[in-house]
Chain A
């Protein structure tokens, strides 16, 4: 039921965590038909954390991001997208090429360099 986690402040068998200890992020996790509250120190992949005096929440990144700093700034892209200055795009700007391993746009190799 999610009640045994370290970050939970108040908890119920049906809803899991109802509130978190200070500085923990509240995330609503869907498991089949159930949805329970979970308290964590960092949001799950695909979500970013926003801290505020009242509560700390997890919010979805853009669909093309695997992880992000905020809604408009990705830190890692999904497969098929390439990161440049916080944006995940399907192609890279001029003078850059895409690296599939890093899923990033990287500077084009100078002419005299092979790889």
Chain B
């Protein structure tokens, strides 16, 4: 299922139009989520990493890189991020082609309690662009309704 990611900069909250991006839900994790965007280093989702307390609802974004030696399967990384309190997890898989493949073998029974979304390409660049500017942003994730049946005016 496709995900709609609406990003609103906190300083534009009253006036600004949200930036709308897209991604793919992993396995059966499709659903709605909202929170402050918070970047996590790939190494922060390993068995040895430490907990970090966040004061409000947040959505984790992780840019995966093939040069970082994998410390856990990605589904476990996703589960760890959710266990750290994230309302949802976004993985930028642009620079880690194995990641998308690994997620595709995701078993339905390993149900994830909250949404996990993969982004890449232009969608990922826009999102990471915000992160790099350290712009505080609020994110809403929803299921994108695929318009399956075009509407023909037969009147």
A and B in direct contact, judged by CB atoms within 8 A: yes
Contact A37 B41 (CB under 8 A): yes
Residue of B nearest to A57 (CB): B48
- Between B43, B65, B67, B128, the greatest number of chain A beta carbons within 10 A of the residue's beta carbon is seen for B43
> Which of B38, B41, B52 contacts A16, CB < 8 Å?
B41
Bound form: Cα–Cα A59–B39 in Å: 20
Bound form: Cα–Cα A12–B36 in Å: 23
Chain B residues with CB below 8 A from A12, complex form:
63, 65, 67, 95
Chain A residues with CB below 8 A from B137, complex form:
33
Bound form: Cα–Cα A19–B69 in Å: 9
Contact A18 B65 (CB under 8 A): yes
Chain B residues with CB below 8 A from A53, complex form:
none
Tally of contact residues, B, Cβ under 8 A: 27
Whether B111 is near chain A, meaning CB under 8 Å from some CB there, is no
Contact B48 A36 (CB under 8 A): no
Contact A14 B43 (CB under 8 A): no
Q: How far is the CB of A29 from chain B (nearest CB, A)?
A: 9
Bound form: Cα–Cα A31–B41 in Å: 12
Contact B50 A35 (CB under 8 A): no
Question: Dominant SS at the A interface?
Answer: strand
Q: How far is the CB of A102 from chain B (nearest CB, A)?
A: 29
- Between B39, B40, B92, B131, the greatest number of chain A beta carbons within 10 A of the residue's beta carbon is seen for B39
**Proximity string of chain B (34-50) to chain A, C-beta cutoff 8 Å, 1 when within and 0 when not:** 00111111111000111
Whether B98 is near chain A, meaning CB under 8 Å from some CB there, is no
Bound form: Cα–Cα A109–B121 in Å: 70
Q: How far is the CB of B131 from chain A (nearest CB, A)?
A: 6
Q: Are A19 and B44 CB-contacts (below 8 A) given A13-B132, A34-B39?
A: no
Q: How far is the CB of B87 from chain A (nearest CB, A)?
A: 15
Bound form: Cα–Cα A26–B42 in Å: 13
> Which of A10, A15, A28, A31 contacts B49, CB < 8 Å?
A28
Contact B41 A10 (CB under 8 A): no
**Proximity string of chain B (77-113) to chain A, C-beta cutoff 8 Å, 1 when within and 0 when not:** 0000000000000001001000000000000000000
Contact A34 B65 (CB under 8 A): no
Contact B37 A15 (CB under 8 A): no
Bound form: Cα–Cα A33–B11 in Å: 14
Contact B50 A60 (CB under 8 A): yes
Bound form: Cα–Cα A33–B58 in Å: 10
Bound form: Cα–Cα A59–B50 in Å: 7
Q: How far is the CB of A99 from chain B (nearest CB, A)?
A: 31
4 tightest A-B contacts by CB?
A32-B134, A14-B63, A35-B41, A28-B41
